[in-house]
């Protein structure tokens, strides 16, 4: 695992202990950021189910001003801290240890709105995908022209819409899929 572009390109990243984290492959990250390019200037990002923090760190390396990393695993939080220290991006990060749904509610109470939200729950927790997307939509956590990215198993079917957000793109990468949502009414 490494940072593939930006000011911290080439920095190696540490994965949490165990095999509960599936780091996103470089080719998938490259495709993701090609789709998002150019990133909004000074973007605020939410990395839910952050694992090693690789995606959020990639956003920071490419110019995001702040990333909130959320994970409920102690090992993941420790890996995120190490990776942020190693890449010298700690000052642009907020780390939240806890359940993603609880974190969404807490962040929404502070009126934080995100330009990008990356969601990568355990693939087997299908209901968690739907509940998380519904909460993000209900709490209106994405900026007007923001984008929500969901990494999931390609056999999983996500709804076309969740209370005002809708799918605008889907990409397949072997056994995984990336689905992109944005607010309804925003031109693609």
- pLDDT confidence of residue 40: 92
- pLDDT confidence of residue 187: 67
Contact yes or no for 22/44 (Cβ under 8 A): no
- pLDDT confidence of residue 66: 97
Rounded to whole angstroms, how far apart are CA atoms 7 and 16?
A: 23
Q: Give tens-digit pLDDT for 122-163.
A: 888 889 999 999 999 999 999 999 999 999 999 999 999 999
Cα 135 to the center of its chain, rounded Å: 15
Instruction: Decide the pairing of beta strands 114-119 and 142-153.
Output: parallel
Q: Give the number of other CB atoms < 10 A from CB of residue 177.
A: 17
Q: Is residue 155 part of a domain?
A: yes
Q: Is residue 173 part of a domain?
A: yes
Contact yes or no for 2/14 (Cβ under 8 A): no
- pLDDT confidence of residue 20: 63
Q: Is pLDDT at 30 greater than 60 in this prediction?
A: yes
- pLDDT confidence of residue 158: 95
Domain containing 62: what range? 40-183
Read off φ and ψ for residue 137, nearest 5 degrees: -65, -45
Burial 77-116 (b: 16+ CB within 10 A, else e): bebbbebbebbebeebbebbeeebbebbeebbeeeebbbb
Mean model confidence pLDDT for the chain:
92
CATH label of the domain that carries residue 68: 3.40.50.150
Q: Is residue 14 part of a domain?
A: no
Q: Is residue 34 part of a domain?
A: no
Burial 136-162 (b: 16+ CB within 10 A, else e): bbebebbbeebbbbbbbebeeebeeeb
- pLDDT confidence of residue 79: 95
Instruction: Decide the pairing of beta strands 165-173 and 66-71.
Output: unpaired
- pLDDT confidence of residue 41: 86
- pLDDT confidence of residue 18: 67
- pLDDT confidence of residue 112: 87
Q: Is residue 29 part of a domain?
A: no
Residue 46, strand partner residues: 68, 117
Q: Give tens-digit pLDDT for 54-113.
A: 999 999 999 999 999 999 999 999 999 999 999 999 999 999 999 999 999 999 988 889
Q: Is residue 81 part of a domain?
A: yes
Q: What is the total count of domains within the chain? A: 1
Q: Is residue 21 part of a domain?
A: no
The dihedral over CA atoms of 160, 143, 51, 41, expressed in degrees to the nearest 10, equals 130
Q: Give tens-digit pLDDT for 115-127.
A: 999 999 988 888 9
Q: Is residue 63 part of a domain?
A: yes
Rounded to whole angstroms, how far apart are CA atoms 74 and 41?
A: 32
């Amino acid at each position: 695992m490494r940072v593939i572009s930006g000011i911290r390109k080439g920095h190696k990243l540490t994965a949490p202990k165990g095999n509960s984290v599936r780091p996103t492959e470089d080719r998938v990250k490259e495709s993701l950021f090609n789709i998002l390019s150019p990133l909004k200037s000074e973007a605020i990002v939410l990395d839910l189910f952050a694992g090693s923090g690789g995606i959020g760190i990639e956003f920071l390396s490419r110019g995001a001003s702040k990333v909130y990393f959320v994970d409920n695993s102690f090992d993941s939080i420790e890996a995120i801290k190490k990776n942020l220290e190693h890449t010298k991006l700690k000052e642009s990060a907020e780390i939240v240890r806890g359940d993603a749904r609880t974190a969404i509610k807490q962040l929404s109470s502070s009126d934080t709105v995100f330009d990008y939200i990356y969601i990568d729950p355990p693939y087997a927790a299908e209901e968690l995908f739907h509940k998380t997307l519904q909460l993000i939509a209900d709490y209106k956590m994405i900026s007007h022209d923001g984008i929500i990215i969901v990494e999931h198993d390609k056999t999983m079917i996500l709804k076309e819409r969740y209370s005002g957000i809708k799918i605008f793109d889907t990409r397949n990468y072997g056994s995984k899929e990336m689905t992109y949502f944005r607010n309804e009414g925003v031109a693609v």
